[in-house]
Amino acid sequence: MSRDIFDGGSRFPDFQDYDAFSRTSKRAPRGGPRVDASGTPIAAALPLTTDNVRLPANVTGTTPQFPADYTLLIDTQAELAWPRTINISSPIILPPSVPGLPPIGFSSAPFQARIEWLAGGGKGGIVFLTGSGGGLQFYVVAKSIRVDVGNWVNFPNPVSCSIQDSLFAQAQDLHYIDRSQVALAPGANLSFGIPPYGRTVQVRSNLLTQAANIVVTIQDNAFAGITQQQASDGPINVNCGVFINVLNNDPAPLATYALDYTLGYE
């Protein structure tokens, strides 16, 4: 996956001397910035960790809404922009009172992350990501980073976040889950905004037989249809769409469903 789109279009903004020394050298070029033992400019260093911040229980089971349902984990900045790797994870101990779960042990729970960054020169962005249990890793070039996280489960969820100065990292299989609490009666439809960096969407229902009767339309900014497919077709390219319209053509109400977006660029 290309990293360029996440740093605002410039591979290493605000640090023009990067190409002047090799990735293996620990010495800065003559007249360049002072670097540490890893070759990172001292003014760009931004390693930081926040451990086991307990997120309040999500009693509704729906998509956390920013800012009301989010908890601030990290808000920090350096003097220079530099490649950063952001890791967010959720190691939890299962509560004994939850029916159907195994005995107490280490497991993980999903969460929703909001990452905001600035790289200088007006470059930066905001992205919402869903950590599917084990956690997620995100790569960005930035000098300031803010990370807020919301809980997906109905009991307190401790979450940890770390920022590392890193030239290379994987940022793939990124998802954003939008679980609506609005039930759709037979024949009813509803439109949803496509999140930043959205590439594909898949509408999932808790009833497998409903997928063939769910119509998914990619809409423009005037809610006019661009493409139309069935949910049973699998992931649908959002192309130049602005909204996703979900139409329930099933005789049964569409009560529990979610929009699963993949994020990023190839």
Domain boundaries, the chain: 4-18+44-92+105-172, 177-263
Q: Which CATH number fits domain 177-263: 2.120.10.30, 2.130.10.10, 3.40.50.300, 2.60.120.380?
A: 2.60.120.380
First to last CA, the chain: 5
pLDDT tier, 6 (very low <50, low <70, confident <90, very high otherwise): very low
- Tens of pLDDT, residues 190-237: 999 998 888 899 999 888 889 999 999 999 988 899 999 999 999 999
Residue of 214, 145, 207, 148 whose CA lies nearest to 7: 145
DSSP character at residue 240: T
Looking at residue 201, its pLDDT comes to 94
What fold, for 4-18+44-92+105-172?
Jelly Rolls (2.60.120)
Q: List the 243-248 sheet strands across, edge first.
A: 189-193, 243-248, 214-219, 225-230
DSSP character at residue 123: E
Structure tokens at 12: 């290493």
Looking at residue 263, its pLDDT comes to 87
Kindly state the average pLDDT of the residues 166-181: 74
- Tens of pLDDT, residues 56-87: 999 887 889 999 999 999 998 888 888 888 98
- Lowest mean pLDDT segment, chosen from 33-37, 121-125, 216-220: 33-37
pLDDT tier, 94 (very low <50, low <70, confident <90, very high otherwise): low
Would the pLDDT of 266 be above 60? no
157-165 and 123-131 strand pairing: unpaired
Most confidently modeled range among 14-28, 153-167, 191-205: 191-205
Structure pTM?
A: 0.69
DSSP labels for 183-226? -B-TT-EEEEEPPTTEEEEEEEESSGGGGGGEEEEEE-TTS-EE
Residue 120 and residue 114: Cα distance in Å, rounded? 19
Amino acid letter for position 130: T
Residue of 140, 195, 127, 192 whose CA lies nearest to 166: 140
| Domain 4-18+44-92+105-172 identical in fold to domain 177-263 | yes
For residue 5, the SS3 value is helix
